[in-house]
Structures are given as C-alpha cells and as structure tokens.
C-alpha cells in the first residue's frame, strides 16, 4: 500500500457528521455522504471518502458484453508473442488483448485508437497498467492522477476510473490484473512501514492523485464493471466522482520504472534485486538501464537457468536486450517450468566489452503455470523454441 494521504475536506474524526457549509444537501440532511473502501474484508488498508450524493444510487444494471479469455493447451514450450504486430485498435480498456493467464493473474496488451468512453471498474482485480508509451491522467473519486511513459499505474480493485490520454494514438500499455493485493515488497520496508534507505525506491517516487475532482452532476452516468469475463453496465443516478475529500491508503498511484535504483555488483546479481511489486502467486520485477558487472572475468549476461517452480514472463519495453536475439520492443516471452533457458548463443562474447546495459523490461514470475490466450496465438513466433541452436 502507498503511504497515508488526505485530500480536500474531511471531518476531524471518522464516521461523525461532515456538515455542509450550506446547511443543506442532496437529501436535505445537511451532510456529505461518507463511503469507506476496504481491502480484504475490513482487515487491510482502507480509505474514507465524502460524496455530494449517496454513492449507492444505482438506477439500472444491464449486461453489456463478454471478454473472450479462452486459452489454448499447447505442448510444453517457450513462447515469443510478438505484440508489436498487434494492430492499434479499440478503447484503452475494452481494446485490451489478453495474452497469458492463470488463477492469480491476467496479462494483456493495449494499443488503443479511441479514448475510453465510459467510466470503468474492475470488480475482481487490482490492475497494474505499465505505460510503455503515452501520457495523460486518470480520473477517479480520489481525484486526478497524471501519468507518463514508463509509469506503473496501480488501480486498487473496485476503483471506478477513466483514462484520459493526451494523444490516444501514442498509447501503449501492458496490463496486469490480479484478485490479490498488490504490495511493495515487504523486505523493502522497515518495522515502521517506511521504505528502507537501501530499498531501490522510496516514498517520494510514489505519486497519488495531484488534485481533487468533485463533479457535481445529477444526471445518469454509466460505469462498465468487469466481473470475471462479463462486462456489466451500471447506470448511476449521478456522476460517481463527486467527492469533496478523502483520506486513507487505498487510492490509485504511479511509480516510474526509471525511478528504480538498480543494484549492481562485481558479478551477476540474481532477479530478486529487480523486484518492484509482490502479490499472491506472482512477483513483478523491472530491469532498468544499469552498469554491468565489474569483475575482470565477469560473464555479463544471466545464467542459463531452470525456473523449477515458476513460469517466467518477460515484456521487452525498450533498449538493447543483450542476452537475447530476435527480440525487440513489444516482444513478450514466456519460459515455463520444465525447460532450461538462458542467453542466446554468442551473447556472452558479445557483451564482454560492454560496461552498461541500456534495457528496460518488465518480468512477471508466476507460481501457477501460465496458459496462452487464444488472442496471442496469431502473433506467436513458431521458431522461438529452437532459437538457442547455434545455426538458428
């Protein structure tokens, strides 16, 4: 969870009357309407917000559509999904293309060509949106949250939001959805809950909404709400972003990949030093531009490795990927348990004289095996499994 934050007008204690200056309100009770948002029942982080109108005023609920998350069983093999071949299409949310999933995670890509039309809420998952390219802001009842290239945007489960891009034709996202809490790695925190001095980022790198947003609009407003594969249309009697103030630790926030301070050594450092987030069933790591190992005889690309109890998904964002060939920005590789993988032939020698690696990549290691979504099949590289042969 990010640090405690408060914005706008809130009363001196929780669950006491928050009286309006005018003495009147929507129901002539003279109050703002309190709303608590809690994680994991009532036992984890929460925020309390104060609305102009009761946040419960649902007029109508309809079925809107369904998302195809069907998967294809394949023989045990690594995959290279060439998402740079995806056509730009759809809205920021409804245009997402699912790539891999298991019960803990769904990973998608989006390259929209239309602004998001309706407010959206994911009922079943926290979302991490990685901004490969693009900029703009996200509106929610917590206010306006600016975002830029290489930001991770973390949207707490159940938060209604609207992405407003500065230039929709520039937007490119990787999206992680999970039913579990998304947290900063516990080992980065001191007993007081503060990020330790040795952690690769700290509180100043984490940005919550920059300004309050209080939309006073007593007209119907549609929220599209995702529930597993179903999209529901919830018609509210008023605009839901009508909050005069809130406080707590549940709110959308950004943290930029390039604010991560890389840890380097004289010899190769293993992937846990790149960890960014932890969640139930997976971790997210970020490989950022960094100095290479300093030992005179250092091998400057990773070990060949058997990821015995994890599947490994790697999204190549930008730069030169020194340990791989045939990979470019937008590539997503998945290496399942049961197969050993590592640097491509020739990359050990090629990297000998290098002192710096200018790469940016997002890695997701999952405890449960990943399944390949049907939508990713048409952009899969059929020759990838044999690309470690010297003559490939």
Residue 29 CB, nearest approach to Fe ion (Å): 59
Buried b (16+ CB within 10 A) or exposed e, 18-46: bebeeeebbeeeebbbbbebebeeeeebb
Is the sign of the CA dihedral 6, 9, 12, 18 positive or negative? Answer: negative
CB closer to Fe ion, 151 vs 312: 312
- Write the CB contacts of 188 (distance below 8 Å, at least 6 apart in sequence): 195, 196, 199, 200
Give how many residues touch Fe ion by CB under 5 A: 1
CA distance 234 to 64: 9
Of 194 and 306, which CB lies nearer to Fe ion in the complex structure? Answer: 306
Q: State the nearest-atom distance from the C-beta of 367 to Fe ion, in Å.
A: 16
- Minimum distance, C-beta of residue 152 to Fe ion, in the bound complex (Å): 21
Q: Give kind and range of the element (H or E) at residue 348.
A: helix 347-350
Minimum Å distance from CB 340 to Fe ion?
Answer: 10
* Smallest separation, CB 243 to Fe ion (Å): 44
Contact 371, 69 (CB under 8 A): no
DSSP assignment of 4-65, as one string? PEEEE---SSTTS--B-TTS--TTSSSBPEEEEEESTTTTS-EEEEEESS-TT-EEEEEEEE
Complex with Fe ion: residue 69 or 292, whichever CB lies closer: 292
Minimum CB distance to Fe ion smaller for 91 or for 312: 312
Between CA 101 and CA 70 the distance in angstroms is 10
Smallest Cα–Cα separation from 289: which of 267, 322, 312, 311?
322
Residue placing its CB nearer to Fe ion in the complex, 293 or 312: 312
Residue whose CB is less far from Fe ion, 166 or 306? 306
- Minimum CB separation of residue 342 from Fe ion in Å reads 7
Q: Which residue is nearest to Fe ion (CB)?
A: 312
Write down the residue that tokens 């005069």 correspond to: 244
Residue 266 Cβ vs Fe ion, minimum distance, rounded to whole Å: 21
- Over the window 276 to 315, marking each residue x when it contacts Fe ion by CB under 5 A and - when it does not, the resulting string is ------------------------------------x---
Residue labelled with tokens 């920059």 = 210
Between 74 and 113, how does the x/- string for binding to Fe ion read (CB under 5 A)? Answer: ----------------------------------------
Q: Which of residues 310-339 bind Fe ion (CB under 5 A)?
A: 312
CA distance 130 to 258: 12
Closest approach, Cβ 153 to Fe ion, in A, equals: 26
Minimum CB–partner distance for residue 171 and Fe ion (Å): 28
**144 within 8 A of 137, measured Cβ to Cβ:** yes
- In which residue are the tokens 């007593």 written? 218
Nearer to Fe ion, 323 or 329 (CB): 323
What is the C-alpha separation between 70 and 77, in angstroms, rounded? 19
Positions touching Fe ion (CB under 5 A) are 312
């Amino acid at each position: 969870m990010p640090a405690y934050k408060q914005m706008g007008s809130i009363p001196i204690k929780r669950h006491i009357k928050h009286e309006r200056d005018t003495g009147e309100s929507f129901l002539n009770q003279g109050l703002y309407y309190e709303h608590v948002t809690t994680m994991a029942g009532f036992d984890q982080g929460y925020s309390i917000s104060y609305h102009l109108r009761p946040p419960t005023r649902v007029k109508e609920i309809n079925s809107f559509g369904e998302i195809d998350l069907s998967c294809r069983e394949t023989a045990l093999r690594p995959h290279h999904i060439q998402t740079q071949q995806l056509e730009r299409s759809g809205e920021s949310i409804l245009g997402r293309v699912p790539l891999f999933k298991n019960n803990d995670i769904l990973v998608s890509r989006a390259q929209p060509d239309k602004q998001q039309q309706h407010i959206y809420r994911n009922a079943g998952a926290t979302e991490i949106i990685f901004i490969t390219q693009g900029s703009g802001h996200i509106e929610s009842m917590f206010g306006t949250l600016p975002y830029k290239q290489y930001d991770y945007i973390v949207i707490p489960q159940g938060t209604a939001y609207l992405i407003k891009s500065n230039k929709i034709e520039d937007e490119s996202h990787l999206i992680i959805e999970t039913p579990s809490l998304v947290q900063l790695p516990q080992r980065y925190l001191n007993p007081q809950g503060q990020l330790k001095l040795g952690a690769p980022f700290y509180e100043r790198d984490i940005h919550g909404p920059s300004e309050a947003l209080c939309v006073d609009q007593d007209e119907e407003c549609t929220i599209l709400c995702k529930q597993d594969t179903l999209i529901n249309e919830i018609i509210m009697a008023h605009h839901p972003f009508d909050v005069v103030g809130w406080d707590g630790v549940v709110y959308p926030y950004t943290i930029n990949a390039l604010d991560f301070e890389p840890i380097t050594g004289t010899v190769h450092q293993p992937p846990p030093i790149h960890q960014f987030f932890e969640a139930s069933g997976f971790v997210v790591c970020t490989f950022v531009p960094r100095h290479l190992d300093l030992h005179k005889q250092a091998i400057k690309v990773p070990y060949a490795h058997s990821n015995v109890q994890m599947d490994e998904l790697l999204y190549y964002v930008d730069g030169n990927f020194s340990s791989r060939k045939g990979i470019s920005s937008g590539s997503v590789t998945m290496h399942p348990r049961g197969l050993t993988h590592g640097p491509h032939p020739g990359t050990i020698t090629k990297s000998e004289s290098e002192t710096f690696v200018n790469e940016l990549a997002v890695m997701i290691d999952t405890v449960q095996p990943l399944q390949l979504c049907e939508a990713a099949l048409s952009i899969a590289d059929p020759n990838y499994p044999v690309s470690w042969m010297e003559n490939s």
